[in-house]
Structure 1
Amino acid sequence: MSQKQHHKEDDSQTENGMVRGLQNRHVQLIAIAGTIGTGLFLGAGRSISLTGPSIVFVYLLTGVFMYFMMRAIGEMLYMDPNQHTFINFITKYLGKGWGFFSGWSYWVSLIFLGMAEITAVATYVQYWFPHWPAWEIQLVFLLILSSVNLIAVKIFGEVEFWFGMIKIITILALIATGIFMVATDFKTPAGHASLANITQGFQMFPKGWVSFVMTFQMVFFAYQAIEFVGVTTSETANPRKVLPKAIKEIPVRIVIFYVGALIAIMAIFPWQQLPVNESPFVTVFQMVGIKWAAAFINFVVLTAAASSLNSTLYSTGRHLFQLAKETPNSKVMKTLKLDTLSRTGIPARAIIASAVVVCISAFINILPGVSDAFSLITASSSGVYIAIYVLIMIAHWRYRQSKEFLPDGFLMPAYKILNPLTIAFFLFVFVCLFLQQSTYIGAIGATIWVILFGIYSNWKHNN
């Protein structure tokens, strides 16, 4: 590697002027906690109820393919650490049409993710303050988190670090509680805590193979936004050093946090008797005699949702900034000056614009009938996410055949087999969306979006 390259990657700024203000500890913790969303704290009971202990295999298998995708993204980002969004690689290797499609689709998907998170935040706050109007809570949270994103990248990293710490400590406390209960043969309302609760009468498909397959899309969305660590590394002081470390540790985190938590829950309580509509974390902590467990877990899911929203604002701001740079002739982009950076090297205008769009959800929920349409659109965005993941894998395949391929880089292992396998897995998850009533219409919406917007994007850039 040339001296010039070394200098460039250790520099305090990226090529486009953004400040590299994140430290290694920020990125490592964002990478650990970024994969832990509210899905694990609240949705684990529901996914366990569908297929029992075999849910562990679903989490492991999905985690393996998410790791392969991260290796593909990591390889390309290692080759060009100045890219702060993986969408640029789609433009580079699949053409401007698919780049335009992915750029806008990803931004819109993230915006809907942000809208869903801000709606969740209001629900969690109302647990303590039921009389506070949801839209006021949403606006206050948006203002606070937008400010965190606007001051400096370092402040964002610090806030995200502590949000992440709360999630990690909670999961480790649950695992420690599980070990203690099993070791002391703790008596629960449903019997004794024991690993036999998992192994006794174990079946791969206790409620049929359809229920087993249905859990894949639920687990997939628990992992959604895992790619976010790739976005943050471009704003660390030494991306080529930090990126491989952050990605290589993903499998260990999956095993400890997801698999560890699930095994602990099912060892404590026979899975058939787990309450579906209550967080298993609340159930477990209450059994140990923690009376304020429900309030504590509510606080944890509130920080998890706020953390996701914080990351979403970070990501949408950078994506919109990139889109503005790529479409210099757009009147809207020009008027709003979305392609400019603040004095502290932050795409402030793009972050504010994204926050304003997310803010719309505060008023959507007040309008009668519109909230149903909103949940439909949110479901569709999940399917669109899968399409973007598939495109990034195809872009990686093309990168491997290109002249820019870096043979001594951070290579994805056995890509000729694992790349197509990962694409096949993502397509399988997309098909799973059609199996459940709650995701069926969203899957149709996503299919229509991918076909129509995909055709429009390619027509626009090929004419």
Structure 2
Amino acid sequence: MQDMSASLEQSKPADSPRDGHLKRTLENRHIQLISIGGAIGTGLFMGSGKVIALSGTSILLVYAILGFFVFFVMRAMGELLLSDLRFKSFADIVAHYLGPRAGFVLSWSYWLSWSVAVVGDVVVVAGFFQYWYADVPAWIPAFLTLFVLLGLNMLAVRIFGEVEFWFGIIKIVAIVLLIITAAVMIATAYVSPNGVVASLANVVAPGAVLPHGISGFFAGFQIAVFSFAGTELIGTTAAEAKNPHRSLPKAINTIPLRILLFYILALVCIISVVSWAEVPANRSPFVELFLLAGFPAAAGMLNFVVLTSAASSANSGVYSGCRMLFGLAERRNAPAIFARLSALSVPVYSLLFSGVCMLTGLTLLFIIPEVMTVFTLISTISAILVIFTWSMILAAYLAYRKRNPAAHQASTFKLPGGVPMAVTSLVFLGFVLVLLALEPDTRMALCVMPLWFVFLLLAYRRRTA
């Protein structure tokens, strides 16, 4: 354990009157709802319409397969985090087991992934706002939302936990109400205005499973990856969790249940009522279901819920991005000022820098006013960075098993399947990355992203020269 202590000692920032440690004020209920909020976000509420249009009902299999492997990535992360509570996030783990350069690249990439994802989320908030006020330019509600979220994150982390707790409750209630409404419509064989009879048979109707062939099935993975982005957010709350040995395993072990309920069952309900062919690709299918049911008031309410869901995802992204930047500064991989905390123990300078970058990204709305086009571009960049993050967690797990077998033996929260499962998950993530090259709207981002990694490697080389 001496090299562990040494590497963690080296990560301490330069002394400053405002430097300090993040406080463990997030309770178990906060961690559970933050983890749910990370898994239920814009990709489900907004992106699922496009995925159903691409993949038909095979999207259910896409979510099931991806969810299966995400669970094992999170179990690997959980074992690593609990092996030593001096690890503040999975970035510390990667830096310790794969070297400081890997930690540098991962941390900056994860910061970028959330900065990009926040832009995507607030763009979607603007799209949902236009449901009521179609003539309002999208940039107005987008910028307003981001300013509000930055203000919220200036407050104590406990306030963030409370906000995410209630956002999470709203999401859960909305999805449960949707499932109940759809169940009643299916039971009564409700006929929608477009002539579709609500029935579970719509899920397996001729042409519904693979309407665009196997290529459509593969194309569904891009938005699906973006949908699950944020599941690893519980790995950045470790330093601020009151009882990580209790809260982290509980949050991770409920991932399969959340995927089954919030993704698969909810989408089965939507397809059964709306029919896959009638699901709009550029609007939320959740709102569409209530419109078809003849409940415009309920559709308006759900639109508000979906809007808060997107805001919740953006709120999580603001939190996670600035905490990752704080960790970078602690390891001297970012300017020391980013490690300074406010009187409320908030890394305020990290937050302000991230906010400026996010506001800059929002200028895309002036260049590309179409919300869904911006969302697709941003979600692809985020998906690539998320795949990279998950892959680095798995690679760190493999290094941990080789270098620290004693910690693995002592672990009470081991990764099921161990090394073989970690390798299989890595191969699968590589396969998903290749799939992004199949569609023109995702291929561009895939071709551009290597430049980011080259830039980071050159920046690290210059920093250590």
TM-score interval, normalised by the smaller of the two chains: 0.7 to 0.9
Q: How is 1:291-306 mapped onto 2 (pairs within 5 angstroms)? A: 291-306=296-311
C-alpha displacement at 1:89, in angstroms?
A: 1.1
CA contact (8 A) 1:18 1:346 kept: yes
CA deviation profile, 1:412-463 (whole Å, cap 9, x unmatched): 011221101111111111111111111111010123333x246436645775
Q: Distance between the aligned counterparts of 1:407 and 1:183, measured in 2?
A: 51
The one-letter code of the counterpart of 1:71 is R
Q: Distance between the aligned counterparts of 2:368 and 2:181, measured in 1?
A: 44
C-alpha displacement at 1:202, in angstroms?
A: 7.0
Aligned to 1:190: 195
The alignment partner of 1:100 has SS state of helix
Q: Distance between the aligned counterparts of 1:84 and 1:295, measured in 2?
A: 41
CA deviation profile, 1:349-393 (whole Å, cap 9, x unmatched): 211221122122344533689x99998576434323322221221
Q: How is 1:50-129 mapped onto 2 (pairs within 5 angstroms)? A: 50-129=54-133
TM-score by length of 2: 0.87
Aligned to 2:218: 213
Aligned to 1:275: 280
CA deviation profile, 1:378-413 (whole Å, cap 9, x unmatched): 643432332222122111110111236242321101
Aligned to 1:353: 353
Q: Distance between the aligned counterparts of 1:29 and 1:374, measured in 2?
A: 25
The one-letter code of the counterpart of 1:437 is P
Q: Distance between the aligned counterparts of 1:176 and 1:419, measured in 2?
A: 38
Aligned to 1:394: 395
Aligned to 2:435: 432
CA contact (8 A) 1:434 1:440 kept: yes
Aligned to 2:328: 323
Compared with structure 1, are the counterparts of its residues 204 and 115 closer, same or farther at alpha carbon in structure 2 (3 Å cutoff)? closer
- Higher alpha-carbon deviation: 378-387 or 391-400: 378-387
Aligned to 1:173: 177
Aligned to 1:21: 25
Aligned to 2:236: 231
Q: Does 1:421 align with 2:447?
A: no
The match for 2:409 among 382, 407, 410 is 407
C-alpha displacement at 1:121, in angstroms?
A: 2.6
The alignment partner of 2:366 has SS state of coil
The one-letter code of the counterpart of 2:352 is I
CA deviation profile, 1:86-137 (whole Å, cap 9, x unmatched): 1111111111111111111111222122222233333333443456555453
- Gaps spanning 5+ residues in structure 2: where? 1-18
CA contact (8 A) 1:190 1:269 kept: no
Compared with structure 1, are the counterparts of its residues 115 and 253 closer, same or farther at alpha carbon in structure 2 (3 Å cutoff)? same
CA deviation profile, 1:330-350 (whole Å, cap 9, x unmatched): 6xx24xx22112222221221
The percentage of aligned residue pairs carrying the same residue is: 37
CA contact (8 A) 2:115 2:354 kept: yes
Residues matched between the structures, number = 442
Aligned to 2:40: 36
CA contact (8 A) 1:383 1:447 kept: no
Aligned to 1:8: none
The alignment partner of 1:366 has SS state of helix
Compared with structure 1, are the counterparts of its residues 242 and 393 closer, same or farther at alpha carbon in structure 2 (3 Å cutoff)? same
CA contact (8 A) 1:97 1:460 kept: no
Q: How is 1:138-177 mapped onto 2 (pairs within 5 angstroms)? A: 138-177=142-181
The one-letter code of the counterpart of 1:430 is L
- Higher alpha-carbon deviation: 289-298 or 87-96: 289-298
The one-letter code of the counterpart of 2:356 is V
Compared with structure 1, are the counterparts of its residues 149 and 377 closer, same or farther at alpha carbon in structure 2 (3 Å cutoff)? closer
- Higher alpha-carbon deviation: 383-392 or 153-162: 383-392
The one-letter code of the counterpart of 2:349 is R
CA deviation profile, 1:177-228 (whole Å, cap 9, x unmatched): 1211222222233342222222344775342111111111221111112100
The alignment partner of 1:157 has SS state of helix
- Gaps spanning 5+ residues in structure 1: where? 1-14
Q: Does 1:445 align with 2:448?
A: yes
Q: Distance between the aligned counterparts of 1:388 and 1:155, measured in 2?
A: 27
Q: Distance between the aligned counterparts of 1:367 and 1:52, measured in 2?
A: 32
The one-letter code of the counterpart of 2:343 is R
